[in-house]
Amino acid sequence: MRNLVTRLVKEESGQGMAEYGLILALVAIAVMGALMALSGGINKILQDIGDTLKNPAGSGGSSTS
């Protein structure tokens, strides 16, 4: 029993994996926060691209659909 307790105290591989998991979770939260903060700007850019594709400049306003 003493050997098992000593081994559990000295074993650190599980601790390293837990730290990587926490870092990954924090990075994911930061990315989600950044995307939420930038969503309005990204939405406007995508809308402008969509409008340009629907009505390209120099087409004379005619559509082929």
Residue with structure tokens 């599980």? 14
Question: In the prediction, which pLDDT does 62 show?
Answer: 52
Q: What is the pTM of this model?
A: 0.49
Integer-rounded Cα Rg, in Å, for the chain is: 27
* Helix (H) or strand (E) segment spanning residue 51: helix 13-54
Question: In the prediction, which pLDDT does 64 show?
Answer: 54
Question: In the prediction, which pLDDT does 22 show?
Answer: 93
Question: In the prediction, which pLDDT does 16 show?
Answer: 79
Residues 6 or more apart whose Cβ sits within 8 Å of residue 35? 42
pLDDT along the chain (65 residues), means of 10: 71 76 96 91 91 78 52
Question: In the prediction, which pLDDT does 13 show?
Answer: 64
